[in-house]
Amino acid sequence: MSFSEDERHLPGRFAIDAYGDGGFRFGDLSHRGSLLALPSGMWAWRCGSPTDLDAAAFERVLQEAEAIDTLLIGTGADLAPLKRDLRQALREAGMVVEVMATGAAARTWNVLIAEERRVAAALLAVA
């Protein structure tokens, strides 16, 4: 089973069992592409590279900001900086923003959801 459309999601918070090869595995599902892990569930995300990371890409995240203390942003295989205006918009919404490579972000997500923290993750797929 898999999902790939922006309008589809899997409700709930799930540990990420694997990442790479262009996608993620979680909750007995395989997802190809990037992923938003939010309080409302796991969502397909159309971003494919760090250059796609702008305010419009984080609209769904901002809609759920009141339920998020920490936002992990996985920028792919390597760390990439966020645009200043995006980082500011996320901080103004009340979130601590942590930017790291996707692998580190996925591992951190797993630890923080196990601790039942108010965390979200925006994860670019890694080839």
Per-residue pLDDT of the chain (127 residues; tens, 9 = 90+): 344 344 678 999 999 999 999 999 999 999 999 999 999 999 999 999 999 999 999 999 999 999 999 999 999 999 999 999 999 999 999 999 999 999 999 999 999 999 999 999 999 999 9
Domain ranges of the chain: 9-123
Give the helix/strand (H/E) hosting 88.
helix 84-92
Is the CA virtual torsion 93, 98, 103, 104 positive or negative? negative
Position 7 scores a pLDDT of 62
Residue where the block lists tokens 């990037």: 34
Q: Is the pTM value of this prediction over 0.75?
A: yes
What's the CATH number of domain 9-123, 3.40.1230.10, 3.20.20.70, 3.40.80.10, 3.40.1710.10?
Answer: 3.40.1230.10
* E strand intervals along 27-125: 29-32, 34-38, 41-45, 70-74, 96-100, 119-123
Residue type at 93 in one-letter notation: A
Q: Quick one: how far is CA 55 from the chain centroid?
A: 14
d(CA 37, CA 106): 10
